[in-house]
Amino acid sequence: MSICGNSADLPVCRRYVTAASLDLSPPVRHAVSVTPTYTTTWQRLGHYVRERRLHLRLTQHDVAAAGGPSVATIRNIEAATHDSYRGRTLNQLEDVLGWERGSVDAILNGGEPRLKTEPQPAASAPPPAPPVDTKTLGDLLIERGLRRPDELVLSDHYRIAGDALITRILNAPEFSEAYKDQLLSSYSALRRSIFEATEAERQRLTTTEPREP
């Protein structure tokens, strides 16, 4: 908006800016294509190598230190200043970048690199079953020198695994070894007496004729 007047016989005009005259609409942003264009296949490879390296957060020195090509070679590949490299050099580059072998050739031919698949750990085998404790009372008596093999009786062929009394005897720190031997011998004799009495009664019951009602 302009306002004019006279000053010293000369017309004077002043221009005032009003809100109505301002264009307050937000600027229009136009989408810009970021698809890289390549003039050579080696430029395409350089772009892929650089993007993969940055994705892994590796410097060119990191790649070289990890067993890849030298820093100068990596720089040449990314800048596409050369178009011929030894196969061993490209294989080293693929290994450090985590690409499968042949990925460089795929890129040069217009394809995509293939990422290495991490080997899956083999299913762990179930833990072995705990060994079955087959030690018998007779084995314990022989082990401690309390019996000879020919002195064992049927009641001595009894597995002692889970026997709370034998466990208590063997693990009692207040008992001397001689006293433990005495208790084990007594326990063996007691089991023998019970076993023989049980067998005798079974024999009597099987041989006794049933009584008439």
pLDDT digits (tens, 9 = 90+) for 136-184: 888 989 998 998 988 888 888 878 888 888 889 989 899 999 999 999 9
Residue holding tokens 């019996």?
A: 147
d(CA 170, CA 173): 8
CATH 1.10.260.40 is held by the domain 41-108: yes
Angle subtended at Cα 135 by Cα 131 and Cα 138, rounded to the nearest 5 degrees: 175
The model's pTM: 0.42
Q: Quick check: 106 pLDDT over 80?
A: yes
pLDDT of residue 90: 93
* pLDDT mean over 117-143: 74
Q: Summarize pLDDT for 38-87 with one digit per residue, the tens.
A: 678 999 999 999 999 999 999 999 999 999 999 999 999 999 998 889 99
Instruction: Note whether 40 and 83 are within 8 A (CB).
Output: yes
Q: Quick check: 116 pLDDT over 80?
A: yes
Q: Quick check: 20 pLDDT over 60?
A: no
pLDDT of residue 67: 92
The structural domains of the chain, with segments of one domain joined by +, span 41-108, 137-205
